[in-house]
Amino acid sequence: MTPQDIPNATIVDTPQKFNLLIHKLQDEPCIAIDTESNSMYAYQEQVCLLQVSTPTEDYLIDPLEPLDLSPIGLLLADPDVQVIFHAVEYDLLCLQRDYGWKMENVFDTMLAARALGIKKVGLGNLIAEVFGVTLEKKYQRADWGIRPLPAGQLRYAQFDTHYLIRLKDYLTSELKKKDLWEEFNEEVQRLINVCKRTAEREPEDEALRFWRISGSRYLNGVQAAVLSELFKYREQLAKRLDRPTFKIIGDKTLLAIATDIPHNMRELSFIKGMTERQMQRHGRKLMQAIRRGQNGEKLYPPNILVPDEAIRVRYDTLQTWRKKRAQLRGVESDVIVSKDVLWSLARNNPSTLEELLEIRDLGPYRRHKYGVELIALLNEE
């Protein structure tokens, strides 16, 4: 069956339709799910569409309607229900942020493809390779917060989950055939644990968020104070207009302004990245922010733990080992062991196999497969 022959998804936008969907899903052993958010069009993104597929039907749930979605969360949290995603991390973080949902039995088709050494792991590439089907891509950057959603967007969203269960079946067979099933499941669990820790992390201090701009830590005290004021202006305006901050003024432009500290509007207009339209809309306000920063307290980066030389040497040794392992297998380096695990190994410097048990996110499969090599490398250092 070609995409043109597949029936349109069922739109779920009333409590009655939602209750009927929940009743149908309760007997399903696996469910494919995806989300669409409005990050390109709003200050604070939110989930604007939930796509759900079973082996026989596709559904599009409208979370912007007054629906109690908690039954979906309970269903996804059931360890007996396998929940299939493509590139689960972003979706999981969005679902945790907006609804507090957590799940245990997850299959990620992108992680599976990476474990198998497949080079092009985008969903469209995989579906084309496995099923010979070419999917529409033109709605990838669409606004999912508008209503009503155009028919083309709805159709595009439907195909994000329509093939996932069949794709999961194919990838599962390949993983088991190549004896990678245990490794894959261990990596999925690690990713779930990372997302849980991210959701439980204390909110970041608003006043320190400007330090996330790349290059900000190289500024002197006055420049950093100026950047802080520029950042505050942009945040307040983006929030009031409900627009993404990058559509107001980009990070690179803010950093360039803070670095050069223009003295007047003419100098501001010469800053790389400043457009005539931005000058008209924001020029005077930006100059006011610059003055506030110049007259305020100098700011310096928060203290960060810098690894000592021994830790850095161990990390570099482990990274070299990981790269060679990945090249031999034909996969990306982080498929072997994650970067965070490498740092944990470098900092803790375990000297026995028993001490590897203390390394967070280094699961039993990788301890068994790589443990002797890792301990030998660390003892050698």
Distance CA(80)–CA(159), nearest Å, equals 25
Task: Find the radius of gyration of the CA atoms of the chain.
Answer: 25
pLDDT of 360 reads 95
- Residue 26: pLDDT band (50, 70, 90) is very high
Report whether pLDDT(306) > 80: no
- Residue 307: pLDDT band (50, 70, 90) is confident
pLDDT of 88 reads 96
Nearest CA to 32 out of 173, 177, 157, 198 is that of 157
pLDDT of 1 reads 61
- Residue 3: pLDDT band (50, 70, 90) is confident
pLDDT per residue over 338-355, tens digit each? 999 999 999 999 999 999
Output the pTM of the full model: 0.92
pLDDT per residue over 352-368, tens digit each? 999 999 999 999 999 99
Asked whether the beta carbons of 51 and 160 are under 8 A apart, the reply is yes
Report whether pLDDT(164) > 70: yes
**Residue whose pair of structure tokens reads 């965070």 in the numeric block:** 340
Distance CA(25)–CA(251), nearest Å, equals 44
Distance CA(367)–CA(180), nearest Å, equals 15
Backbone angles phi, psi at 128, to 5 degrees: -65, -40
Mean pLDDT of the chain: 96
Report whether pLDDT(4) > 80: no
The torsion of the CA quartet 240, 93, 103, 168, rounded to 10 degrees, works out to 120
Q: What is the DSSP letter of 273?
A: T
Q: What's the rounded mean pLDDT across residues 320-324?
A: 98
Asked whether the beta carbons of 130 and 116 are under 8 A apart, the reply is no
pLDDT of 5 reads 84
Question: What is the CB neighbour count within 10 angstroms for residue 144?
Answer: 23
Asked whether the beta carbons of 40 and 244 are under 8 A apart, the reply is yes
- Residue 116: pLDDT band (50, 70, 90) is very high
Q: What's the rounded mean pLDDT across residues 239-262?
A: 97
Between 279 and 302, residue with greater pLDDT: 279
Q: What's the rounded mean pLDDT across residues 134-139?
A: 89
pLDDT per residue over 327-338, tens digit each? 999 999 999 999
- Residue 263: pLDDT band (50, 70, 90) is very high
Report whether pLDDT(304) > 70: yes
The percentage of the chain sitting over the pLDDT mark of 70, rounded to a whole number, equals: 99
b/e per residue, 260-272, with b = 16+ CB within 10 A?
Answer: bbbeeeeebeebe
In the chain the domains, ranked by start, together with CATH numbers, are 3-200 (3.30.420.10), 206-295 (1.10.150.80), 309-380 (1.10.150.80)
